[in-house]
Structure 1
């Protein structure tokens, strides 16, 4: 019983960041801060249109001019 408890603690600590990322992604998606087609500007001044948004990532279509 003590061994299974120790294993559960080790797995819990090892998966802490991963589980946090998953729940953050789910919460972020449920909040819907922006939708496909919205134009957004990031903190580094990158501007783009949201083309896809899922629980793990958001994709932007950006335009570069030089």
Structure 2
């Protein structure tokens, strides 16, 4: 039996969020988080490229 409301249901629209007001402490905290994220990404890129933090790891020689 197939009804009129078969198929996918459309999701309800979410209410629009009000714009938040930030004070100086909030802005400073957000800037600090952005700087930490940049530093973390730079360290990860440096580790991938084989710099002093990471790199080739332990290599096996061809000897038996």
Shared fold (TM-score, shorter chain, > 0.5): no
TM-score, with normalisation over the residues of structure 1? 0.35
Q: Which has the higher contact order (CA 8 A, sep 6+)?
A: 1
TM-score, with normalisation over the residues of structure 2? 0.35
Give the greater-gyration-radius structure (CA).
Answer: 2
> Where is the strand percentage greater, Structure 1 or Structure 2?
1
